[in-house]
Structure formats: structure tokens, C-alpha cells
Structure 1
Amino acid sequence: MRKSKSKAEQMHVPKKNRQLFEQIVELIDALCDAHLNENYRELCEHMAGEICRTHLPLSSSSPAAWAGGIVHAIGWVNFLHDPKQSPHMTSVQLAEGFGVSKGTMTAKSKIIRDKFELMQLDPDWCLPELLIDNPLVWMFDVDGLIMDIRTASRDVQQEAYEMGLIPFIPADMQKPESESGPDIKIIEFPSSKSKASKPKDNVPNLFEELEE
């Protein structure tokens, strides 16, 4: 019988970093169980896999420092510090939760944010529950004009989803239950592997790609 792959193997973490990865994930899971939620856990575990595949000087700090930095960075993207958000934690509370100083944690967070060019509401690292209201996910260049694809027809949204440009079909999410019925499938956000692009020098031209 084939042995199932470990989480580190599934994320293609190099063997030299697998023990550290497992230690970081264990700390992240404990904090998410106590204070955050499954969506935070998923994003933070994925980020742990990402940093363990980089050339960052991981051995220079403790697993707790990196775990704290990861959760702080993902929390920064998703406004975890905002009291209006649920869940909500301050930087001091996060640092205490990992048993590290706030300065150590925020230093690691900055390394991670700089390495992966994170921004607030980053489409690649945004919580699923914030995606539908995140304008960075839905804006596309249409003949030089910026269009919110949430206002487009479902057919256009479907093609954009199939091309990997958006994480789910907004029209399905917005249909009242009485109209959608039990056969309507809400397409789930595919973790942080979404191909929704960050707005860099330009915005993707959706119609040009659809016509190819």
C-alpha cells in the first residue's frame, strides 16, 4: 500500500526544511485553533510552504518567530488588526500567542511581505470571505477602460473563471437562494493558488484574452 504524502511533501518542501516546516505549521495550527479560523490556517500553511521553498535564512530564527511572521503578514493583508473584523487580533496578542517579541515577529513579517510583494487585500492571499468585496480581484481592462467583472454577464464571468482570471463566479454567489435552487453549485475559492493578478503596471485585458 502506498504511503500517503505528508503535508510537506504535498507542498514540495525540500527535505532539508521539512522539519522546520512541520514545526512552523504546528504552531500556526495551534494559534488558528485558539484564535482564528480554518481560512487563516489554510493561507498561513500555504505561506509556510512558500517560505520553506525559498532561499530565506530560515535557520537564523526560531520556528515560532517565522510562524508569528507568517500569521502577521497574512493578517496584515486581511486587516486582522481591525477591531471591526472577525476574527481580530492585535500585533501584541499575536506575538504573545507565539511566545516571541513583537519586534521579532514584525521583522519576520516584513521579510515575508517584501519577498512575496504582498499588499493589503492581495488577491493571492485574501481570505475567501473578503474576496467578493475586494476590487483588486475583479477589475479588468476593456478597451482601455477599467471594468468591474462583477457587473458583466455570467457567460463572461464563466470564461474568466475557466481562464483562471477570477477565483469564482460572482453571479452564482449573488443569486438569492430561492432562485438558485439546490442544483446551483457555488464554486469554491481555490486556496491561494488563484491566478487573479495583482495590479502592477497594467490591468489584464479580459476581452482580448477571451477572443484568443
Structure 2
Amino acid sequence: MEAFCRDHLNDEYFAVSRELAAHVCQEGSPVRSGKASSWAAGILWAVGRVNFLSDPASEPCMTQSQFAKAIGVSVATISAKCRVIWDGMELMQLDPRFSVASQQGSNPLVWMAEVNGFLMDLRTAPREIQEAAFEQGVIPYVPDDRSDEASD
């Protein structure tokens, strides 16, 4: 996976793919049987689906056919393995658990949380709430800190 990400995707995809692989390669998982290359392709494509890899507006961008050709696994196999992973992990597009770091700031699902019974976008919350959410691991960083850096 590392070489493929280095050559065709980026380090962010590699990091998130490793994280997903750690989740799906548990004892008793179907991922632990069959061809490792097929499952690796399924894991990478699942991360790609979460992060809109096939969207021309995305960078990097690859269609499933381009991906299959580059990784050397058929589209049908990639689809089948990805479906098992997608369903087993209950993944969705923009899934905050497996969004690449560069997309987290613009991913609304990363920032939504229930506060006092109300759904709130934590990017617009008071700093104290942002800090508490960060300390609890709910959000990846304190948005107000990034806003200060962007304005410098």
C-alpha cells in the first residue's frame, strides 16, 4: 500500500489506509483470508470512496478503472472487497473516521456534535467548547487556532 500511495496517491491516503487496515484486519475478519493484494486494493478504494477519489475536483483523482489498472486488480474484485469493508465498517462518504487530513477542515461531518441537546458545527462554537471537544478527541484541532494562522 505504501508504494502505491507514494506513486499514485499521497502520504495522507497511506496514513488513513493503514488506519482502516488496522480496523478491518482483526481476528475473524474476512480480510484475513484470500489474496492480500485484493484486500489492500479494497481498503485503498474504500478510503478513496470516503474522500471522493474519483471526483475530478479532488486531488489526487483517479477513476476506478484507472485505479484498477494502476494497482493490478480487476474492477470487479476491487468493488467486491470494498463492499465488504464498506458494509462491515459502516462507512459513508465524508466519514470523519477516515477522511484524509487535508479534507478535515472542509468536511462538515468532522465538526458536527451534539451540545446541550442541539446539533452544532463546532467550527462556529465558542473557543471553550472547541477546546473541550479537542481534548475529548471529538475534533482534530481547535478551529480558532487554525483561523489565527490563516490570517497571519
User: Which TM-score applies when normalising by structure 2?
Assistant: 0.91
The Cα of 1:56 is off from its aligned counterpart by 2.2
The Cα of 1:134 is off from its aligned counterpart by 1.2
The Cα of 1:67 is off from its aligned counterpart by 1.0
Counterpart residue identity of residue 76, structure 1 = R
- Partner residue of 1:117 out of 81, 90, 95: 90
* Corresponding residue number in structure 1 for 2:129: 156
The Cα of 1:65 is off from its aligned counterpart by 0.6
* Corresponding residue number in structure 1 for 2:20: 47
Give the distance between the partners of 2:150 and 2:4, measured in 1 at CA: 35
- Partner residue of 1:126 out of 99, 111, 116: 99
More RCO (CA 8 Å, sep 6+): 2
What is the number of residues matched between the two proteins?
Answer: 152
The aligned runs of 1:88-103 (5 Å cut-off) are 88-103=61-76
Give the distance between the partners of 1:177 and 1:77, measured in 2 at CA: 26
Say which SS state the counterpart of residue 140 (structure 1) adopts.
Answer: strand
CA 1:167–1:76: 2 relative to 1, 3 Å: same
The aligned runs of 1:1-212 (5 Å cut-off) are 28-58=1-31, 60-177=33-150, 179=152
The Cα of 1:149 is off from its aligned counterpart by 1.2
Q: Are the equivalent residues in 2 in contact too, given 1:68–1:105 (CA < 8 A)?
A: yes
The Cα of 1:97 is off from its aligned counterpart by 1.8
Cα root mean square deviation, aligned: 1.6
Q: Are the equivalent residues in 1 in contact too, given 2:25–2:32 (CA < 8 A)?
A: no
Give the distance between the partners of 2:32 and 2:141, measured in 1 at CA: 38
Q: Larger C-alpha radius of gyration, 1 or 2?
A: 1
Give the distance between the partners of 1:74 and 1:151, measured in 2 at CA: 28
CA 1:47–1:98: 2 relative to 1, 3 Å: same
